[in-house]
Structures are given as C-alpha cells and as structure tokens.
Amino acid sequence: MLYQVFRPFRLLHRFLVDKKYPQGAYIAERYRVIRKLGSGSYGTTYLCVDSIQQKTCTVKQLRRSRQGRKKYFRMFQQEYKLLSELKHPSIPSASSFFHTDDGYFFVMDFVSGENLEQHIFDTKKQYYEKEALALTIDVAQVVDYLHTRRIYHGDIRIPNVMLAAGHASLIDFGLAKQFSGPKSLEEQSRLEQDLFDLGDILLYLLYTTFEKTTKKALPWTEELTLSPACKHVLERLLGIQEPFPSVSETIDALRKTKEAAD
C-alpha cells in the first residue's frame, strides 16, 4: 500500500530531476546528441557524435535521481569497468568516464542495427527451428566469452540483443557481475539465470512461427511442433530437466540439434 502511495511522487521526482538532452544538445561540450536510445532503471543512453574524434558513439548517463544512492553509483561504475576491460566484437567497449554538473557519464561504442524485438516486430520475421537454433548459438557464444571470465550478464533479453547483418551483439550490462575467489551459490544462481535467459530467447524465436488456432492457453510443449532434440535442449535450459552445467556444453547441444535439423 505504501508503495502505491509514494510511487507517483517518485515518478514526479524523476521527471523533475532527470535532465533529458534534446537533439542537437551537447554533453560535456563534446558529444552532440543525435537521439535518445533508451532508459533503464538507473541510466539513460544517447546516440551522439564525438565532435573531437568525429565518430558516432553511445553516451550513458547515470540518472540524477539515482546519484544520491550508492547502490546505483556502484552499478554504474561497475558497468563501465566491465565494458572497458572486455574486448569482443559483439560487446560494446567503454572508453571514458567523466563527470559534469549534470552528473556522471561514460562513453562506449555504438552498436549499429536494431534490437531483436524491434527486428521481429518490424519485419515479421519468422524463425524456424534451424534458424532459431543458429541465432541462439550466436548469442550463446557471446555469453560463453563472458562466463569464461566469470562474468554473468543477468539481463539477456530480446531488447538487449542487437542484430546487424544477421549477427548478434549483446548490450546493457547494467546488471552484470564478475566473480572472483571460491565459487558461491550466488554465482551458480547467476549461471542458471543466464542459461534460462538463453532458453527464453530460443523459445521466443520459435514462437514467431506459431499461429494460434484456439482460445485455450496451452503450454509451449503442446503449442509448438519441435524435434525431440530441440524440445530436450529447451527443457534443460528452462530448468524443466537437469540444467546444463555450462554455456559451452549448451552450445555443443545446440549445434548438434541444429546439425540434425539440416
């Protein structure tokens, strides 16, 4: 009840405090805003032109309404640190962290293309089993790169998968976390969450070919016509059967299933 009472005031506070940069405005007198790309729980991203290097980039701002809470500032710093250390063609690299009167920012590569959600909505693309498996493998390979460094994304969703020429990139590392030292229950939980998210992406892709013929809601195991191997992989990813112990073993299973569909 208290949450429902105070939520409108929090939303009003965010609206009044969080500065939004219009098209043509400059951030730190250097980055000219082309357009706003999106907003998350603690950050807002803009597509910009770096007036010094004369190239497009993405500038992420920590919302001013979040700057008073150490939790969000730590998450913002951690996201920058991770992206500045990762070197992968399918992950945007961060290049600088700075502060102005409007708050904290960092700069990262701009990932071209459109997110998977937009792509499917705009093009009405249908992913049959073989294509769905191929794209899921593409995403899983990026996740495997992270997991070998004990980094877990924590938010692998279709809006965070970018497509360019059919190739997948992974963005939005705001919830990502890197572990060190002995393995913990939290790390295992993070691993299982990333695996579940991969299964959720595969299931979403497979549903692009589904045409509902009845009003009755049925489980995906009854609505979709899948090969036994694909169904088995999905059930393991979604935790219905024994989960995969790693992303690398998931990729092996996905590849075998795809080869069987050839």
Nearest CA among 207, 201, 190 for reference residue 168: 201
Read off the amino acid at residue 137: I
Q: Which residues pair with 163 in a beta bridge?
A: 114, 168
Q: Which residues pair with 39 in a beta bridge?
A: 44
How many other CB atoms sit within 10 Å of the CB of residue 95? Answer: 15
Catalytic hit among 18, 50, 102, 155: 155
C-alpha to C-alpha distance for 138 and 51, rounded to whole angstroms: 34
Q: Within 13 A of 236's CA, how many CA atoms are on the CB side?
A: 17
Nearest CA among 10, 156, 176 for reference residue 79: 176
Tokens at 10, concatenated: 């929090």
Tokens at 41, concatenated: 């729980």
Own/partner pairs, 209-216, CB within 8 angstroms, 24+ separation = 209/126, 209/127, 209/128
- Please indicate whether residue 122 is annotated as part of the active site: no
Nearest CA among 98, 198, 108 for reference residue 147: 198
Q: Within 13 A of 70's CA, how many CA atoms are on the CB side?
A: 0
Please identify every residue annotated as catalytic.
155
